[in-house]
Amino acid sequence: MRILITTSPGLGHILPTISFAHAARAAGHDVLYATGGSVNAISEAGLQVVDASPDTDYAQIFMGAGAKLREQMQAAQDDVQRTMELGLKLFAKVSEPTLDSVVRVAEKWQPDVIVHTPLQAAGQLAAGKLGVPLVSVQLAMGPDRMFTGHEQITRDELREYFDRHGVASVPNTAALLSVTPPSVRGTGEVPDTVWPMRYVPYNGGSVVPEWLLDKPERRRVLITLGTVVPHFGLGMLEPVVAAASKVDAEFVLALGNVDLSALGELPENVRAVGYLPLGVLLSSCDAAIHHGGAGTTMTIVDAGIPQIVVPQGADQFLNADTVQENGVGQRATVGDVDVALIERLLGDADWRANALRMRDELRAMPSPVEVVERLAGFVG
């Protein structure tokens, strides 16, 4: 089976697909990525990738054409339907630089199936033109159809490309690989097109410091803002770090390779670590405070620890609501994260029990290996 994978450009969209790609390669299938943005993360994972937009500055798209849409998403954060529509419009612009390239790659490579992340329209266009099955990889544990079922919005935004390639409509999704645990999904019947798949975190590799293997002398809390938010400034962290300094716990500040000087001298119980894969880092943590990115949220769910989510934009509000509604933590604003809330994060027995239960649910779901086998049978 030949599997072409295309994703939106950011690490938060690319990394959650890597475990699936590794499972497919281990099963003997051919895997090729065609995407833009952080393509080095794919090659560094030992996989093959065609850079579909080598000269594109995605920051310019987000700060330029996408700025108004991001502002509207921020304003509509509690309106799920409106957030979905604005997200699809924003990522139609983000997809645009890759559309023709991904179609060319697909025509040359002739995949049996195209796998895409929900907001990457290039997968929809290429699958529609080649007439091959389209599979979507869900990134978060929210509603399965959060960014699907609204295909007409994508086509309207990218009408020029779909018309030029003779694709009359966005093809239906043959299968949605869903990482939503059963208790989050609820008691309703799971459609045949929704295939549960365990979320297996992939956060890249690193040289792990030996101290990370030591049993912490006191409770340890992760603080992270993912890979995008830190580049918009660290001011929001100042009150969080100030509150952390008054809690009897160790706080690990994982912000990647960004300038931390704006935070001043860190308290003695706050350790900055640069970049470390979250999966490894969380193995020694008791709780987490973060921005609500899909990959971060799911990696923390896999760790089985409570979380405080301080969403900043996009789907982060939906992820934060899912965390709170399922009793594994709380959605909060920066001002909410005080000493009392951090102490609750570390001491709430219900949050901790629910986090462990959800971790066990997640790990009982079909692994990427099993899902690849099912896909091979489906494609034939």
CA 45 to CA 221: how far, in whole Å? 28
Amino acid 30: pLDDT: 98
Task: Please choose, from the candidates 110, 118, 91, the residue with its C-alpha nearest in 3D space to the C-alpha of residue 17.
Answer: 118
Amino acid 105: pLDDT: 98
- Going 204 to 207 to 213 to 214, the CA torsion angle's sign is negative
**CATH entry, 210-363, from 3.40.50.300, 3.30.390.50, 1.10.275.10, 3.40.50.2000:** 3.40.50.2000
Amino acid 83: pLDDT: 66
CB 142 within 8 A of CB 83: no
CB 122 within 8 A of CB 52: yes
User: Per-residue pLDDT for the chain (380 aa), expressed as one digit of tens each?
Assistant: 999 999 999 888 999 999 999 999 999 999 999 999 999 999 999 999 999 999 888 878 777 765 666 666 666 556 666 667 777 778 788 899 999 999 999 999 999 999 999 889 999 999 999 999 999 998 777 655 555 556 778 888 899 999 999 998 888 899 999 999 988 887 777 788 999 999 999 988 888 888 888 888 899 999 988 666 555 556 677 888 889 889 999 999 887 777 676 777 888 999 888 778 888 889 899 999 998 888 899 999 999 999 999 987 667 888 888 999 999 999 998 889 999 999 999 999 999 999 999 999 999 999 999 999 999 999 98
- Going 119 to 123 to 128 to 131, the CA torsion angle's sign is negative
Amino acid 150: pLDDT: 64
Amino acid 121: pLDDT: 92
What does DSSP assign to residue 257?
S
Question: What CATH superfamily is the domain 2-199+365-379?
Answer: Glycogen Phosphorylase B; (3.40.50.2000)
Amino acid 249: pLDDT: 93
Segment (H or E) for 31: strand 30-35
Structure tokens at 229: 């938010």
Domain locations in the chain as residue ranges:
2-199+365-379, 210-363
CB half-sphere exposure, 101, CA atoms < 13 A:
17
Q: Residue 264, by phi and psi: left (phi above 0), alpha (psi -120 to 50) or beta? A: left
CB half-sphere exposure, 209, CA atoms < 13 A:
9
CB 379 within 8 A of CB 112: yes
CB 69 within 8 A of CB 88: no
Write the CA distances from 85 to 77, 154, 202, 233, 279, integer angstroms.
Answer: 12, 9, 29, 27, 32
In this structure, the strands spanning 175-178 and 49-51 are unpaired
CA 224 to CA 10: how far, in whole Å? 16
Write the CA distances from 243 to 66, 226, 337, 349, integer angstroms.
Answer: 34, 20, 7, 21
